[in-house]
Amino acid sequence: MPAETLYKVFKFKIMKINRRNFIAKSILATAGTLISSKYTFAKEPLKLTGKKNKPVVIATWDHGFDANKVAWKILSKKGRALDAVEKGVMLTEADADNLTVGLGGLPDRDGYVTLDASIMDEKGNAGSVSFLQHIVHPISVARLVMEKTPHVMLSGEGALQFALANGFKKENLLTEKAKQKWKEWKKEAKYEPVINIENHDTIGMVAIDAHGNLSSACTTSGLAYKMHGRVGDSPIIGAGMYVDNEVGAAVATGMGELVMKTLGSFLIVEFMRNGLSPQQACEKAIERIKQKLPDYKNFQIGYLAINKSGETGAYSIQKGFNYAKYDKKGNRLIDADYLLK
Ligand code: ASP
């Protein structure tokens, strides 16, 4: 099936699958006011006026709750945010019951589990892997790319070779559960990828440690039943996640193509640099999708952000995005606010 037809099928599919009835909110009249009316940008570069809250870790979706516990063990002992986010998301990667990350992730339409991941530290170092197969912990391979190579991203066979050369084991990631789901899908879905809200479950995690340093990690098996070779936003630095230690950090989940076209995580950090709170920055990045990508209503995107003061924000296009937050007040799941009410 040609890519364009496939994409149209994607869109049709979600409209069919989506059980919720979204009523578009008519917002602002002119493009000019759309850009400037909701928020006033600070004239000066970022000023930190908020009370400091650290350490803090936030992570996408329900699975963020348990991942946060692992991260918090490190953060509460004054450990490094980078270690916290890597170890935190590793829990989700190793969970064979989780159908959207690492081991047990739903395969592409040809039955291959292909993984994307990225990580970034407080020094602005970044590493990622895309289209990686057979490795349970792509996030750790991404970290090694960051720390041991002069590069930022390794992909496919090359990423696998690099992982094996560094002691990672080659494993079968397609669990019986995922295989059965793929087989069912093949019968009924006529070789079309499934895009719906329930299907978007990347784990993205951002943290600020006791020293005030920020890091983020993002790891996924990507869109279920995607075309073989498809890479999403998660391994793209600035799309799936981004960190600027002077300002803040952000992560994305949802339909990666929309995040890539608007470079969502980088955009959120830049909005924070210009004086917006993490919440306002996430909202503004969703608003950008609305402005630029007319079919946004058919998809889900969720953003999380944290700033240098440890303030956090979250926003999505559709209802249903949640995240876990762990700070001195404890670990809790929070429903994010959203655009289409
Ligand atoms: N962002 C991921 C991708 O497009 C999907 C997800 O968040 O579940 O690959």
CATH number of the domain encompassing residue 134 = 3.60.20.30
Is the Cβ atom of 235 under 6 angstroms away from ligand 1? no
How many Å lie between the centroid of ligand 1 and the Cα of residue 115? 10
Could you tell me the residue range of the domain that residue 92 belongs to?
56-338
What distance in Å separates the CA atoms of residue 152 and residue 240, rounded to the nearest whole number? 14
Q: What is the pLDDT of residue 52?
A: 85
* Ligand 1 closest atom vs CA 302: 7
Q: What string of pLDDT tens digits covers the 341 residues of the chain?
A: 444 444 443 443 333 334 333 333 333 333 333 444 455 554 444 555 556 899 999 999 999 999 999 999 999 999 999 999 999 999 999 999 999 999 999 999 999 999 999 999 999 999 999 999 999 999 999 999 999 999 999 999 999 999 999 999 999 999 999 999 999 988 887 666 665 555 668 999 999 999 999 999 999 999 999 999 999 999 999 999 999 999 999 999 999 999 999 999 999 999 999 999 999 999 999 999 999 999 999 999 999 999 999 999 999 999 999 999 999 999 999 999 999 99
Flag whether 47 is in a domain: no
- Ligand 1 within 6 A of CB of 256: yes
Residue 75 corresponds to which amino acid?
L
Q: What is the dihedral sign for C-alpha 150, 223, 305, 294?
A: positive
Task: Tell how far the Cα of 49 is from the centroid of ligand 1, in angstroms.
Answer: 34
End-to-end CA distance of the chain: 35
Q: Note whether residue 212 is domain-resident.
A: yes
Q: Whose CA is nearest to atom 8 of ligand 1?
A: 200
Domain assignment present for residue 103? The answer is: yes
Query: Using a 6 Å cutoff on CB, does residue 278 contact ligand 1?
Result: no
Question: Is 329 part of a structural domain of the chain?
Answer: yes
Q: Does any ligand 1 atom lie closer than 6 A to the CB of residue 200?
A: yes
236 CA distance to ligand 1 middle (Å)? 12
In the chain, which ranges are continuous DSSP H helix?
3-17, 31-36, 63-75, 81-93, 138-148, 156-165, 176-188, 256-262, 264-273, 278-292
- CA nearest neighbour of 215 among 87, 116, 73: 87
20: CB partners within 8 A, 6+ apart? 197, 318, 319, 320
In the reported structure, the alpha carbon of residue 199 is separated from the centroid of ligand 1 by a whole-number distance in angstroms of 8
Question: What is the rounded distance in angstroms from the CA atom of residue 114 to the CA atom of residue 107?
Answer: 7
40 located within any domain: no
Q: Does 41 reside within a domain?
A: no
Residues with Cβ within 8 Å of 162's Cβ and at least 6 positions away in sequence, in order, are 141, 144, 145, 149, 154
DSSP 3-state assignment of 314? strand
CB of 133 closer than 8 Å to CB of 173: yes
In degrees, rounded to 5, the angle at the alpha carbon of residue 143 between the alpha carbons of residues 141 and 148 is 90
Asked if residue 85 lies in contact with residue 68, where contact means CB atoms within 8 angstroms, the answer is no
Centre a 10 Å sphere on the Cβ of residue 28 and count the other Cβ atoms it contains.
13
Ligand 1 atom nearest to 116, measured from its CA? 9
**Distances 66 to 34, 207, 239, 315 between C-alpha atoms, Å:** 39, 15, 24, 21
d(CA 245, CA 212): 9
Q: What one-character DSSP code corresponds to residue 218?
A: E
* Tally of domains within the chain: 1
State which ligand 1 atom lies nearest to the alpha carbon of 200: 8
Pocket test of ligand 1: the residue of 60, 101, 129, 223 to mutate, having most ligand atoms within 8 Å of its CB, is 223
Q: Is 232 in the pocket of ligand 1 (CB under 6 A)?
A: yes
3-state DSSP assignment of residue 117? strand
Whether 39 is in a domain gets the answer no
Q: Verify whether ligand 1 is closer than 6 Å to residue 302 (CB atom).
A: no
For residue 254, the ligand 1 atom closest to its alpha carbon is: 7
**Which is the closest atom of ligand 1 to the Cα of 201?**
8
Atom index in ligand 1 nearest the CA of residue 231 equals 9
CA of 204 to the centre of ligand 1 (A): 10
Task: Give the number of other CB atoms < 10 A from CB of residue 43.
Answer: 7
Our answer on whether the CB atom of 316 is closer than 6 Å to any ligand 1 atom is no
Q: Is 222 in the pocket of ligand 1 (CB under 6 A)?
A: yes
In a domain, 4, yes or no: no
What are the residue numbers of the active site? Answer: 202
Could you give the CA distance from residue 159 to residue 53 in angstroms, rounded to a whole number?
Answer: 37
User: CA angle at residue 144 from 222 to 108, to 5 degrees?
Assistant: 20
Tell me the best of 10, 108, 234, 263 to mutate to test the pocket of ligand 1, counting ligand atoms within 8 Å of each CB and taking the most: 234
* 229 CA to centre of ligand 1 in angstroms: 14
The pLDDT of residue 282: 98
